[in-house]
Amino acid sequence: MAVEQLGNYRLIEELGSGGMGVVYLAVDPNNKPVAVKVLHPSIANDQTARMRLAREVRTLRRIQHPRIAAVLDAELETDTPYVVTEFVDGLTLSDDVRENGPFAEDELVHFGHALLDALTAVHNAGVVHRDLKPANVMIMDGEPMVIDFGIAQAADEVKVTVTGLVMGTPGYLSPEIVDGKQSNEKTDWWGWAATMAFAATGHNPYGSGGIEAVIARVASGRANLQGVPERFVPLLRACLDPKPERRPSGQMILEALVEIESGQVPSLGGAVPAPPPAPNLGDTMVGGPAIPAPPDANAGFAGQPAFDNGPALPNNDLGAHSQDRHSAMGLMGSPRPGGHPVQQHVPPANIQPPPQDFTQQPAYASAPVGTPHPQYSSQNHYEQPAVLGPPAWASKLSALTVLALVLLSIALTALAPMITLGVVIVWQVLARTVGTMVKSHRDRIMATGKASASGTVARTPVALLTAGLLTAVGLILPLIAACAVALMMWLDVAGIVPRGYAEETALIAAASAGAVVMWFGPTSSNLRRGSRQIAAVAVGKSAVGHWCAIGLASVLAILALLTVASGVGVTWWPVLDSPFELLPVNDA
């Protein structure tokens, strides 16, 4: 197998690609799995973008938080710049909701606290995400982790169309980003609410259709929150306000979550919004001073406390967030043994909290940045050896599906070896063609930033010819290994062949040896890549479909072995005579 190396990292497999570049599963010098994002040439060739990325990477590397995929390393001065992050082995929120359905209210509370923790930690470092969406939230062992922090902001500066529109996922880009205005922390609270709405309903809160229609709904605040738990609607509606200055602050979102968790409707919400306020010139910008705002700039919903940004959140807020997370009736009950002490204070459900002056918000309780949530302080999934492989369930199940098909082919070899060999050769040509086209498509994205479907189809004849040559070369060693093992089993060198089954045993052993050499030998990388791709497309994205295919192949393999055991004999068609007749006679 040809191994690709990038700096100190050995690339194992492509995990995905997009406008920023291609993400690979890789291993570091200590054989620990990491995610390596190779940046797109449009970013790599932009010196301003590189400088901003370098600044943000330096900042983000100091952040250690259980809800954030840590930035571990970066090399931005080479011809192929890349960023290395923690490898998160799990599903995206999109896939999780697709497979398991929308979140219930108690799950939403837990999910909302986790995202709030992560966003607050990064805001304290002076970075705004700007691109929080279901695809940027991973679910690992039932717990959310946020990826692509900060890097998206610098990258977006060079990913604009000729009309100035920032490219992104419609329905998850806040109004100020669409308008080309500066973003701040409240931009992320908008993304937080849009992501929460998706988790609660399974659909984009601004619907589908043309990008112009979706952007129009975003700009006018017409979010579809049907299906969102009733107590969450006022909070999400407030966070999705088109005017950033009217959205709640992180502290207010925290208090609203605590109220929801204790069975109350959050007090910051209101059914009828007040008239749009004057533009707020006092929003605290990350990395910049605040400008005094007009007295009415922070007007909120009618009859409710005014929204105020408050001072920039200090670097010691996570401890109180964790404490408040437990001070209400939480999902997990009392803290597990070994966790931090928690003040058990539950506000009565029928008493509204007293009005607070949000003009001067109290600082959160003291705790170091990156202090894990007490419930999860020991949950470091990377302290245990990780299995190297694709992180998503679909990729893993595709590999298992291919393995089941390989085992089926080995079993069928004992019944009809020549027919099975012909099918394997056809599969190799097809899989290698697909593997070559996938790699070519990825390389064109890396080189030019785009790859059209028509261009990929036009290259099919070349890919097919390449696959044929690779198949011919790739069969040499597997056939040699298979023949050698077949000869040893036919002669019963080890004395382990069951009497009366010499031919069948030799064929099964030969097929097994040939399969191992074929799968891991020279020129095998595109065979594996193409096989997994075909399995994924043929079975679809459903886990049920994959398991059905695996089960069917396994049952057929067992039936084939039972048929062999019944003594039906080997069919050598289209060959007339068995090649074993040319070998010395075996009395077994």
Q: Which two tokens stand for residue 408?
A: 């089926």
Mean pLDDT computed over 396-422: 90
Q: Is the pLDDT of residue 326 over 60?
A: no
Residues 6+ apart with CB under 8 A from 45: none
Mean pLDDT computed over 266-289: 42
Can you point out the beta strands (E) in 29-161? Answer: 33-39, 71-75, 82-86, 91-92, 137-140, 143-146
Which one has a higher pLDDT value, 125 or 170? 125
Residues 174 and 33: their CA atoms lie apart, in Å, by 34
Domain range 4-86, CATH architecture: 2-Layer Sandwich (3.30)
What tens digit of pLDDT does each residue of 517-575 get? Answer: 999 988 888 898 889 888 888 887 678 888 999 999 999 999 999 998 888 889 999 98
Contact in structure between 432 and 460 (CB atoms under 8 Å): no
Contacts 24+ apart (CB under 8 A), 543-551: 543/99, 543/393, 543/394, 543/397, 546/394, 546/397, 546/398, 546/400, 546/401, 547/397, 549/401, 549/404, 550/397, 550/400, 550/401, 550/404
Mean pLDDT computed over every residue of the chain:
73
The CATH 3.30.200.20 domain(s) of the chain lie at 4-86
Cα 313 to chain centroid, rounded: 29
pLDDT band at 587 (very low <50, low <70, confident <90, very high): low
The CATH 1.10.510.10 domain(s) of the chain lie at 94-275+296-339+358-368
DSSP characters for 321-350?
HHHHHHHS--SS-SPPTTS---------TT
What tens digit of pLDDT does each residue of 295-304 get? Answer: 333 333 333 3
Per-residue pLDDT at 37: 87
Residue among 243, 304, 316, 233 nearest 268 (CA): 304
What fold is seen in the domain 94-275+296-339+358-368?
Transferase(Phosphotransferase); domain 1 (1.10.510)
Residues 6+ apart with CB under 8 A from 116: 192, 250, 253, 254, 257, 321
Residue with tokens 């609660």: 200
Q: Which two tokens stand for residue 279?
A: 């533009």
What tens digit of pLDDT does each residue of 4-54 get? Answer: 888 899 999 888 776 567 889 999 999 999 999 888 777 777 777 777 778
Residues 425 and 527: their CA atoms lie apart, in Å, by 11
Q: Is 243 annotated as a binding residue?
A: no
Mean pLDDT computed over 216-225: 91
Which one has a higher pLDDT value, 405 or 436? 405
Cβ burial, residue 337 (10 Å; 0-12/13-18/19+): exposed
